[in-house]
Amino acid sequence: MSATWGNKLKITIFGESHGSCIGATIDGIEPGIKIDMDLIEKEMSRRAPGRDNLSTQRKEADKAEIISGFFNGYTTGAPLTVLIHNTDIRSKDYSDIKSIARPGHADYSANKKYNGFNDYRGSGHFSGRITAPLVFAGALAKQILKEKYIYIGSHIKSIGHIEDMKFSENDMNRYTFARLNEQRIPLINEYLRQDMESLILEIKDNGDSLGGVVECAIVGMDAGIGSPFFESVESVLSSIIFSVPAVKGLEFGAGFDICKMKGSQANDQFYYDEDSNLKTRTNHNGGINGGITNSMPIIFRVAIKPTSSIAKMQTSINMYKKENIDFKIDGRHDPIIVLRVLPVIEAVSAIAVLDMIYSENY
């Protein structure tokens, strides 16, 4: 099992959804960085379950305990290890379905991969619960990037059939990002919020779930970061974004819509503004050319699948009896993952950006 990601900044995650704790070890953080725990706790609370009726009612404080690499308020340069204890566990919800391959889950593939020894409770190491330490690591990376005037923000581009606007040039700044972070349903067009909330509650009442799209932007990146081919900016970001459970698609810039354009439309034409800063008149390529940043905002959209655990009757199999069955999942589950995945996408993006910057400096 590979649980470590990164080149110069290495993140190792550990734990299971219903184990005693989850956590991460962050290796490569330079010494002398002051950690703002209030900011980290704020980021953690954005992802935490049990905040309202739009998420699972599992309640976890997600209080981070740093046990190494941190002294007198500053990083020491040693690997930084953080623990997050699991406190609201109902493992009995899974005792009756341990032999069932839940549709949309990793039960069957994990059973085959690990010969049945994997922890099936709450999906074990496959659970979205393990994204909590990623948010801690990403919040720390965000603090470091802020000192370099690099900011990351996101909003909900769509839920079901309801579509928000895309980021415009005027939206992509630290002030807008901070405003979006305060919103339970972060939207550019705030008039859509009530419609989205009503749709989520309707789906929840029907025992079903929804998916959606998250749009993320990274601003303040200098030109020249990244490498062609295997370490392109797109490759590095994709490798960690696709590690987030429920991510099923990713597009940069105009994404698939660029295929509908002519070259004269798709090409982002360069110019110097009145302050001699290089810019492009459009940003269809999402701030990246040849796998390398061109100083324009990096823009991408992430497709999030509907929550796999739903309260409707479904068909599946009993893996041990090799029988076809009908069953319904009980327990506490999100009617939609999109709301809680935004800080996770921002976090892993911050980790990737900081790793690329560190790699440039070696």
Q: What is the pLDDT of residues 279-305, one digit of tens each?
A: 999 999 999 999 999 999 999 999 999
Q: Where are the alpha helices (DSSP H) in 147-248?
A: 174-181, 193-205, 233-241
- Roughly how many angstroms between the first and final C-alpha of the chain, as a whole number? 28
What CA–CA distance (Å, rounded) separates 155 from 58? 24
- 3-state SS string over 116-135? CCCCCHHHHHHCHHHHHHHH
pLDDT, residue 93, reads: 58
- Please give the distance of CA 154 from its chain centroid, rounded to a whole number: 10
What percent of the chain has pLDDT above 70?
Answer: 92
Whole-structure pTM value: 0.93
pLDDT band at 109 (very low <50, low <70, confident <90, very high): confident
pLDDT of residue 145: 98
**CATH topology classification for 4-360:** Chorismate synthase, AroC fold (3.60.150)
Binding residues: 47, 125-127, 290, 305-309, 332
Which residue type occupies 166? Answer: K
pLDDT at 237 over 70: yes
List the alpha helices (DSSP H) in 87-164: 92-95, 107-113, 131-146
For residue range 192-213, list pLDDT tens digits in order: 999 999 999 999 999 999 999 9
Residue 40, classed as helix, strand or coil, is: helix
Which own/partner contact pairs does 162-166 have at CB distance under 8 Å and 24+ positions apart?
A: 162/192, 162/195, 162/196, 162/199, 164/188, 164/189, 164/192, 164/215, 165/189, 166/215
Per-domain boundaries in the chain: 4-360
Binding annotation for NADP(+): 47
- Distance, in Å, from the CA atom of 251 to the CA atom of 339, rounded to the nearest integer, reads 19
36-65: per-residue pLDDT in tens?
999 999 999 898 765 666 665 555 567 899
pLDDT at 34 over 90: yes
Q: Which of 15-29, 40-54, 136-150, 224-238 has the lowest mean pLDDT?
A: 40-54
Q: Is the pLDDT at 91 greater than 60, yes or no?
A: no
Place of tokens 């796998």: 291
Mean pLDDT for all residues in the chain: 91
| pLDDT at 111 exceeding the cut of 70 | yes
Q: What's the pLDDT at 316? A: 93
Q: Which residues are annotated as a binding site for FMN?
A: 125-127, 290, 305-309, 332
